[in-house]
Amino acid sequence: MTEPARSRRPLELAVLLGIAGLVLVADQVSKALVVANVAVGQRVDVVGDLLQIWHAQNSGAAFSLFQNGMPLFLVVSAVALGLVAYFARTLHGRSPWFFFILGLVLGGTLGNLTDRLAHQGIVTDFISFGFGDVRFATFNIADSALVVGIALIIGTMWFLDRSSAAGDARRSSGETREADASGAAAPRSGDGPAAGAAG
The one catalytic residue in 143, 161, 168, 191 is 143
Buried/exposed code over 6-16 (b: 16+ C-beta within 10 A; e: otherwise): eebeeebeebb
Question: How far from chain centre, in Å, is Cα 174?
Answer: 34
Residue 45 designated active-site: no
The one catalytic residue in 27, 45, 115, 125 is 125
Residue 125 designated active-site: yes
Amino acid at 140: N
DSSP state of 139: B
Q: In this structure, are residues 23 and 40 in contact, taking their beta carbons and an 8 Å threshold?
A: no
Go through the chain and tell me how many residues it has: 199
Q: How far apart are CA 32 and CA 38, in angstroms?
A: 10
Q: In this structure, are residues 98 and 87 in contact, taking their beta carbons and an 8 Å threshold?
A: yes
Which secondary structure element, helix H or strand E, spans residue 53, and what is its range?
A: strand 51-58
Residues acting as catalytic residues? 125, 143
